[in-house]
Structure 1
């Protein structure tokens, strides 16, 4: 299974790297936000620059997985290869594993510009334990957004998936408080942010890189979102499989 998963991951990566604009697009907005909003306004403040970088990292995790899986899966379903591959005796597990591996690689590539800009152009600081904690948090918060993307990709045709992914990403980013420093978002955002997947995720990132307190309510919300999105993703996959092969 491992070799099959790696083969599928290699196939997914080759498809993406053959269209560089798809890769550049996922990293452009967070990198541009760092250059135009973080660097000139809070770049000289170590605390705020660190928190802002954590917010942009969370933004990359959300958008990369939302678009990579939401749009990518929907587009794959429209191709003749997809239903054929799902009839092969290897089953769905290697394809799922390969897609997840490819998505992690692409997410990592998208994170590089944000981290480089923070290191070169801001006073953001992080300790070695903080860096290790941040890497762990990135892996954890990628899960609900991966599931969200899979739920969209297996539920909708490609054109509808593109629209829904585009409609979701900005409200989730703004409502989760990714566009502001901790505690400085508008009142209604501060109220709802801890219970949105983006708000819960960024609070874990803030706690990993700085002195932001861990909020049990946000952790509980992230766990509930992950469970709910896993249920929707499984339902969408089985529904799609039933419609194609029953």
Structure 2
């Protein structure tokens, strides 16, 4: 089973790499945001730069997974190869797990420029323990956005998936407080953000890299989003399975 998972992951990565702009694009916007907003305005302040980098990491996690799974899955569903693979005796698990591994690899690639820019062009600083904690938090906060992408990808055709991903992208970033420093967003955003997947995620990142207090409300909100989005993604997958193979 593990070899099948790795084979599927390798296939997904090769398939994505055949369209280089898809790989480059996933890393471009977070890096461009770092260079345009973080470096000139918060780069010389260690605390502000550290929090801003955590926000950009969350931004990259959201954007990469939302488009990678939302648009990627929707596009795969209309290709002849996807229905064929889903009828093979190995079942859906190797294909599904391989997609997750390839998506995580692309996410890591998109995060690399953000980390390098923070390290060399800003005064951001974290301890080794905080850095390791942030890596773990990054893996956790990727889950709701992977599930959100899967729900979009399995329930919509490619053209609709692109639009929905784009429509969700900026409002989730703004309303989650990713565009401002901790406590610097407008009042209604500060009230709403902890209960959105982006707001809950970035607050966990801030707590991992700095002295930002960890609120249980954000943790419970993130868990609730994971459970809810898992239910929607499962429903979308089974609905697609029933339509195409029953």
TM-score, normalised by the number of residues in structure 2:
0.99
Partner of 1:77: 77
Structure 2: where are the runs of 5+ without partners? none
Mapping for residues 83-122 of structure 1, pairs under 5 Å = 83-122=83-122
TM-superposed CA distance for 1:20, in Å, is: 1.1
Mapped partners of 1:17, 1:84: distance in 2 = 22
Coordinate RMSD, CA, aligned: 0.5
Mapping for residues 1-246 of structure 1, pairs under 5 Å = 1-246=1-246
TM-superposed CA distance for 1:36, in Å, is: 1.0
Match of 1:25, SS? helix
Mapped partners of 1:26, 1:105: distance in 2 = 11
Q: Residue by residue, what CA displacement relative to the aligned partner does 1:182-203 show, whole Å, maximum 9, x if unpaired?
A: 0000111001000000000000
TM-superposed CA distance for 1:178, in Å, is: 0.3
Q: Residue by residue, what CA displacement relative to the aligned partner does 1:64-112 show, whole Å, maximum 9, x if unpaired?
A: 0000000000000000111111110000000010000000000000000
Q: Aligned residues, how many?
A: 246
Match of 2:4, SS? helix
TM-score, normalised by the number of residues in structure 1:
0.99
Match of 2:90, SS? coil
TM-superposed CA distance for 1:27, in Å, is: 1.2
Structure 1: where are the runs of 5+ without partners? none
Match of 1:90, SS? coil
- Runs of 4+ in structure 1 deviating by more than 2 angstroms, as ranges, are none
